[in-house]
Amino acid sequence: MRNAVENSIPKRAFTFIEARPSEKIYEICIALNDVCGAVAMAAKVLSDAKVNIRTSTLFIAEGADGFGYWASFVDFSKATTGIKQLEKNLRNLDFVEDVKVIKPSPLAYDAIHFPIIHGGSLAMIMPIELFGSLFEEIEKILTPSGFVAVFYNAGKKSGAFIATLLSKRYQLKGDTLSSALVQATKALGWGQVEAFTIDKDRLVGKVKVRSCFEALLKFDRNDKVCHWTRGIVAGFLSEVIGKQVEAVELKCAAAGDEICEFEIKPKI
């Protein structure tokens, strides 16, 4: 795997694709029954028509068992079959319920799917640069100490909310609930938790996060900047343990450290 770095492989969200000048990009969404081999047979129809699949996603339909969608960005520049005929060929497959083909314009954004669902919640995707501009504008309004306090407390509220949501929705608790946060942090692009220790009796511990998104946003600040992240950690662990703890950033990648490191200690 050429892009594999340590234990992570970069993943593109199915929202946008960079089209090359020579490509004719279309978006196809196929509604199909949950039948073994269904995607392979649909993909063969595209392959036989010399339609190149650039990227795709497969997901189960909300609230419908045995039914789902296979959506793809495809390149028609070398296709030997017209779009209408391709649609017909796909519809002729026994397991296909519907086919939708559009040409996204002016850019190759996903123009078929809405809303975005994450777990059982509505979600939105925000590029990190957009999040950075939001941080910058708030920093202009608040004093440095005010900015730190606002984002740390907002992070604590968010962490407590996430812990409560995961606990109730998936009946998780204790170490299993903590492990879920480690999973979520990586899956959502916030950062990669590389080390996590907590003494629940003494309420002390350490959390190490690589590629923390706040440090990536402010990599040239030469200061500790991950206030929202340390708030997330403190709020989440306070819910898991049942006692209030605080998180202090000891090391930060924005300050030149290799990794962001947070110390957990009792709230005084």
Q: Where are the alpha helices (DSSP H) in the chain?
A: 38-48, 83-91, 128-141, 144-170, 174-187, 213-217, 227-241
The mean pLDDT of 173-202, rounded to a whole number, is: 95
* C-alpha pair distances (Å), 25 with each of 55, 70, 74, 75: 11, 16, 6, 5
Quick one: pLDDT band at residue 6, thresholds 50, 70, 90? Answer: low
Q: What average pLDDT does this structure show over 102-114?
A: 96
At 256, list the tokens. Answer: 């030149």
- Where in the chain are all domains bearing CATH 3.30.70.260? 25-123
Q: Does domain 128-266 have CATH number 3.30.1380.20?
A: yes
pLDDT score, position 149: 96
The model's pLDDT over 143-152, given as tens digits with 9 standing for 90+, comes to 989 999 999 9
Rounded average pLDDT over 55-65: 88
Q: How many CB atoms lie within 10 A of CB 9?
A: 10
182 or 8: which leads in pLDDT: 182
pLDDT at 268: 83
Question: Would you tell me how many other CB atoms lie within 10 Å of the CB of residue 159?
Answer: 25
Query: In which residue ranges of the chain is CATH 3.30.1380.20 found?
Result: 128-266
pLDDT of residue 136: 87
Burial 173-190 (b: 16+ CB within 10 A, else e): eeeebbebbeebbbeeeb
* pLDDT reading at 180 higher than 70: yes
Residue 4 has pLDDT above 50, yes or no: no
DSSP tag of 109: B
Which residues, other chains included, contact 127 with Cβ-Cβ below 8 Å and sequence gap of 6+? none
Range 219-231 average pLDDT: 88
Q: How far apart are the first and last CA of the chain?
A: 48
**CATH homologous superfamily of 25-123:** ACT domain (3.30.70.260)
Predicted confidence at residue 219, as pLDDT, reads 66
Return mean pLDDT, the chain: 93
* pTM of the predicted model as reported, rounded to 2 decimal places: 0.87
